[in-house]
Amino acid sequence: MKDSYHYLLFDLDGTLTESAPGILNSVRYTLAHYQIPEESVLPLERFIGPPLMESFMNFLGLPEEEAKRAVYIYREYFAEKGIFENAPYEGISEVLQRLVSAGLTLGVATSKPEHFARRILEHYDLEQYFQVICGALDEGPNGTKPAVMRRAIWEMEEKFSASKDKMIMIGDREHDIFGAKETGIASMGVLYGYGDREELEKAGADLICETVWDMCGNLLGDNS
């Protein structure tokens, strides 16, 4: 694997950090504003991964303009409290250090707004491992997973003369796999996050790993 992929793009939520508490509490805050019973939209875990506007339209049935307002309401809570109601997965710092020490170039491509992503990575001292950090720039076309990944790929190409056949996207949800396919790079699904094997297999992940260490071993080519 080490000989195949030198440029690694990581999702954030469910791949680097266990972010469910902050996201779910922010969703609950939004539901309370709209007086929507939580029981009517379970499981709330569906909101982890997809762009927020898409989730509010699909899961709450909100029209586009109201979904934009719902995102604003969600972020009232998230910006103050939810942003740090999460933690890096156990072992992730050590894994990132091993990957960097092996000479691999790491980046982040997340649907979370970029300024939030950078704050989270800095808060947990993870930003040091990444040469590229890209997140959503708005709630429109620039906020989709493929759009974020295209920017990350472009930065990898510009900064490091990277080629797509040496890149791989690592994430826990189907959106990560679909984004990889749309942008023409390989994909690795991880099962320690919020997606399951069926979701990742159906999306067409090139590789699926059970744990943080399994992911590391595959990328370094030393898993036995």
Provide the phi-psi class of 135: left if phi over 0, else alpha when psi is between -120 and 50, else beta: beta
Peptide bond into 37 cis (omega under 30): no
The answer to whether the CB of 157 falls within 8 A of the CB of 7 is no
Give the span between the Cα atoms of 68 and 140, in whole angstroms: 10
Asked if residue 167 lies in contact with residue 186, where contact means CB atoms within 8 angstroms, the answer is yes
- What 3-state DSSP class applies to 124? coil
Question: Within 13 A of 179's CA, how many CA atoms are on the CB side?
Answer: 32
Cβ atoms of 53 and 68 closer than 8 Å:
yes
Residues designated as active site: 11
Nearest-angstrom CA–CA distance, 173 and 177 = 7
Structural contact between residues 203 and 177, judged by C-beta atoms closer than 8 angstroms: yes
Cα–Cα distance for residue pair 145/197, rounded to 1 Å: 20
The β-bridge partners of 189 are 171, 208
